[in-house]
Amino acid sequence: MQDSTANDAAWLRGIWEPVSGYLTAQKLVDWALAALVLLVGLLAARLARATFRRLIGVRLRAQHSLVAEKGIFYAVLGLAAITALHAAGADPSVLLGAAGILTLALGFASQTTVSNLISGLFLVGEQALKVGDLIRVGANEGYVVSIDLLSIKLRTFNNVLVRLPNETLLKSEIVNLSHYPIRRLDIALGVAYKEDLGRVQDVLLETAAKNPYCLDEPKPLFLVTGYGDSAVLLQFSVWFTRDTYWESIHRMRQRAFEALTAAGVEIPFPHRSIYAGSVTEPFPVRVVGGEDASGR
Amino acid sequence: MTGGRRAPAPWWGRFEIPDGQAGRWRIGPFTLSAHWRPPEWRVARESAGDLLDDVVAVDCPADPDAVEPRGELVRIAPATPRGVLAITPKLADRPVVARPETTFRLLPGAQIDLFVSTPVWLEVGIGEPPQTILDEASWRLSDTWFGAVTGPGELCYAIHTAARLRLENLPVLPHRAVTKVRLENRAGETVSLERLNLPFPHLSLYADAGGHLWTQVVSVRLEAADKLAEVDLGEGPPGEAREPKRVAGPRLVVHRNILVRAKSAMLD
């Protein structure tokens, strides 16, 4: 029992003596100073970021401002961290040397990250999109909510956040749906072969004229795009501002359909004409039901 | 305006509505109703029917049971509990694009006057001093784009009643204001006029002795060398307006009377 107690005490002494030798009063002061420097550095980084945003960032594009703000924040914070380490008694030059080796190792280990970082710089420089734009990348469509160093984030129409790596974006086809101030809505439809296409055109143009959000100029476009199996294929194109485009899609299609229906224009469903040949007898037709289905 | 036409009664101004009473204004296709039930206002408006309707009917104060709200009804709590309602006619909040009946060619040195008629906006305020609760067109005009489809350009309103050479050919309606546009081609080449972009937010609105509404005269001088159009906003309405009085200032104040715009921003 006594031996065990003595062993524990020796073990504790073995730990405590080096620690107590290191944790001198001076060291505690140095570490407290380092913590203070780090704290001040954090506040200074935030202040620098806020000042930049207020004075310069408001004049820049949103994504440029975001990138610059992050750069300033981390640069000030990095300087504060090096100063704090120096205050704590560490030699920054040794750290920087170690950081060089570490960076090399990390570089090999983080090729994807570096690729995303560089891709992000190209994307920002190219100005193909900005925060607030409505874009389509592959199957994802939504508003750009942020452009970061490694990725951009989209908010889709059903309120889902999608993160797209910058490298993927740089390799993909980006469709910016809100780059230009006005957009064209193409409505594809078909009418029966018996219809007067001039009248159909008039009905559709009148529908556009009655919608105040449909732009007067550029003028609506009416095109015959082909001859389908069951209908003459048409395209009716109207222009809207990008702000009213989405709410107008449904309304315009609905009103065009209603106007054509009201004008008695047939929008046919697929059908087949069965031709028995000119020399054949007509198909026999038997009426079932009628006035007296029972035959009485 | 020309003699022999029925002078519409002014429908704007300050109206007092006793507690529990109502008011109704029919100005062409636009109908406004307001019920004052302290401490709340119930305001409804509707723009429907015939664009060329020339009816002006002001019924204020009126029996609240006889005034049926038409269109969207809004309930409003004013800052000052007073049954005072002010209606002010205003001009469009965006530039308006007008067209002549057919493309017009202006030969070098030619000068013409065009008359354009546009629906006015109604600014409605309640209480004293009035707090604006509504600023709406008496007839919603179509949007149009003036410029290239890839930008730069300007979102404007389009009017479908053609710009006329003769004032007599314009419909005289209580909810529309007439603008006289003087075009002068000082360029050494023929200028085709298909569309005319008028800077309505910069114009003031006037009423003549007959209650008709007018805007400042707009003069457009086309210069040759730099392809610029000098736009001069006149001091007041044209001489055709008898005893004009200003009823509303411009929405956007310009510090210079002469605006210089690219020709393509004025004419097409």
d(CA B237, CA B167): 14
Q: Do B151 and A244 touch (CB under 8 A)?
A: no
The token duo for A58 is 């408001």
State whether A212 and A151 are in the same domain. Answer: no
Helix (H) or strand (E) holding B231: strand B228-233
Q: What is the pLDDT of residues B90-110, one digit of tens each?
A: 999 999 998 887 878 888 889
- Digit-by-digit pLDDT tens for chain A (296 residues) are 556 677 777 777 777 776 666 667 777 888 888 899 889 999 999 999 999 888 888 777 776 787 788 888 988 988 888 888 888 877 767 766 777 777 777 777 777 777 777 888 888 777 788 889 999 999 999 999 988 888 899 999 999 999 999 888 888 899 999 888 899 999 999 999 999 999 999 999 999 999 999 999 899 999 999 999 889 999 999 999 988 998 889 999 999 999 999 999 998 888 776 776 766 677 777 888 765 545 44
State whether A87 and A142 are in the same domain. Answer: no
User: Integer distance in angstroms from the first to the last C-alpha of chain B?
Assistant: 30
Whether A186 maps to a domain, the answer reads yes
d(CA B25, CA B89): 13
The pLDDT, as a whole number, for residue B3 is 40
Determine which of A96-110, B24-38, B49-63, B176-190 has the lowest per-residue pLDDT on average. A96-110
Asked if the C-beta of B225 comes within 8 angstroms of chain A's C-beta atoms, the answer is no
Q: Which residues from chain B sit within 8 angstroms of residue A216, using beta carbons?
A: 97, 142-144, 158, 160
Whether A220 maps to a domain, the answer reads yes
Whether A54 maps to a domain, the answer reads yes
Q: What is the pLDDT of residues B167-193, one digit of tens each?
A: 888 887 888 999 999 988 888 888 888
The DSSP string of A126-195 is HTS--TT-EEEETTEEEEEEEE-SSEEEEEETTS-EEEEEHHHHHHSPEEETTSSSEEEEEEEEEE-TTS
Count Cα neighbours of B244 within 13 Å in the Cβ-side half-sphere.
22
State whether A38 and A74 are in the same domain. Answer: yes
What percent of chain B stands above pLDDT 70?
A: 89
Q: Domain of residue A165: give its range.
A: 125-176
Calculate mean pLDDT across residues B65-80.
Answer: 89
Reduce the DSSP state of residue A99 to 3 states and report it. helix
Q: Which of B80, B87, B10 is nearest to B43 (CA)?
A: B87
State whether A53 and A138 are in the same domain. Answer: no
d(CA B84, CA A187): 49
Q: How many angstroms away from the CA of A258 is the closest CA of chain B?
A: 20
User: Quick check: B78 pLDDT over 70?
Assistant: yes
State whether A74 and A160 are in the same domain. Answer: no
Asked if the C-beta of B68 comes within 8 angstroms of chain A's C-beta atoms, the answer is no
Cis previous bond, A92, omega within 30: no
Instruction: Give B14-17's long-range contacts (Cβ < 8 A, gap of 24+).
Output: B14/B84, B14/B85, B14/B86, B15/B60, B15/B61, B15/B84, B15/B85, B15/B86, B15/B87, B16/B61, B16/B83, B16/B84, B17/B60, B17/B61, B17/B83, B17/B84, B17/B85
User: Quick check: B25 pLDDT over 90?
Assistant: yes
Reduce the DSSP state of residue A95 to 3 states and report it. helix
Residues in chain B: 268
Cα distances (Å, whole numbers) of residue A241 to B42, B57, B145, B149: 33, 36, 8, 10
State whether A50 and A91 are in the same domain. Answer: yes
Whether A278 maps to a domain, the answer reads no
The pLDDT, as a whole number, for residue A254 is 94
State whether A171 and A186 are in the same domain. Answer: no
Q: Which of B131, B135, B130 is nearest to B120 (CA)?
A: B135
What 8-state DSSP symbol labels residue B78? -
State whether A155 and A230 are in the same domain. Answer: no
Determine which of A266-275, B69-78, B184-193, B252-261 has the lowest per-residue pLDDT on average. B252-261
Q: Is A173 exposed, middle or buried (0-12, 13-18, 19+ CB in 10 A)?
A: exposed
d(CA B177, CA B89): 9
Asked if the C-beta of A180 comes within 8 angstroms of chain B's C-beta atoms, the answer is yes
To the question of pTM greater than 0.90 for the whole model, the response is: no
CATH number of the domain at A32, please: 1.10.287
Domain count for chain A, please give it: 3
The token duo for A86 is 């120096």
CATH number of the domain at A211, please: 3.30.70.100
Whether A285 maps to a domain, the answer reads no
B2 band by pLDDT with thresholds 50, 70 and 90: very low
Strands across the sheet containing B196-198: B142-147, B153-158, B96-98, B196-198
Does the predicted interface ipTM exceed a cut of 0.90? no
d(CA B176, CA B159): 11
Whether A204 maps to a domain, the answer reads yes
CB B178 within 8 A of CB B168: no
Q: Which of A170, A178, A124, A127 is nearest to A147 (CA)?
A: A124
Q: Which of B13, B14, B12, B49 is nearest to B30 (CA)?
A: B49
What 8-state DSSP symbol labels residue B239? T
Closest CB to A216: pick one of B150, B151, B158: B158
B5 band by pLDDT with thresholds 50, 70 and 90: very low
Whether A7 maps to a domain, the answer reads no
Q: Which of A261, A247, A244, A255 is nearest to A206 (CA)?
A: A255
CB A124 within 8 A of CB A131: no
| Strand partners for B88 | B123
d(CA B67, CA B26): 12
B202 band by pLDDT with thresholds 50, 70 and 90: very high
Q: Do B145 and A180 touch (CB under 8 A)?
A: no
Which amino acid appears at position A115 of this protein?
A: S
User: Quick check: B122 pLDDT over 90?
Assistant: yes
State whether A94 and A64 are in the same domain. Answer: yes
State whether A30 and A74 are in the same domain. Answer: yes
Q: Which of A182, A184, A210 to mutate to test the interface with B (most CBs of B within 10 A)?
A: A182
The token duo for A267 is 């929008």
Q: Closest-CA residue in chain B for A209?
A: B142
State whether A147 and A229 are in the same domain. Answer: no
Residue at a domain's end among A109, A136, A151? A109
Chain B residues 4-63 with CB within 8 Å of chain A: none
Q: What integer best gives the mean pLDDT of chain B?
A: 85
Residue at a domain's end among A68, A85, A109? A109
b/e map of B159-178 (b: 16 or more CB within 10 Å)? bebbbbeebeebebbbbbbb
Residue at a domain's end among A63, A81, A109? A109
State whether A188 and A171 are in the same domain. Answer: no
* Diameter over CA atoms, chain A: 123
d(CA B182, CA B231): 10
CB B74 within 8 A of CB B43: yes
Q: Which residues from chain B sit within 8 angstroms of residue A215, using beta carbons?
A: 142-145
Whether A63 maps to a domain, the answer reads yes
Compute the Cα dihedral for B115, B117, B118, B124 and give only its sign: positive
CB A30 within 8 A of CB A89: yes
CATH number of the domain at A149, please: 2.30.30.60
d(CA B138, CA A31): 73
b/e map of B237-250 (b: 16 or more CB within 10 Å)? bbebbeebeebbeb
User: Quick check: B51 pLDDT over 80?
Assistant: no
Q: Which residues from chain B sit within 8 angstroms of residue A217, using beta carbons?
A: 97, 144-146, 158, 195
Reduce the DSSP state of residue A38 to 3 states and report it. helix
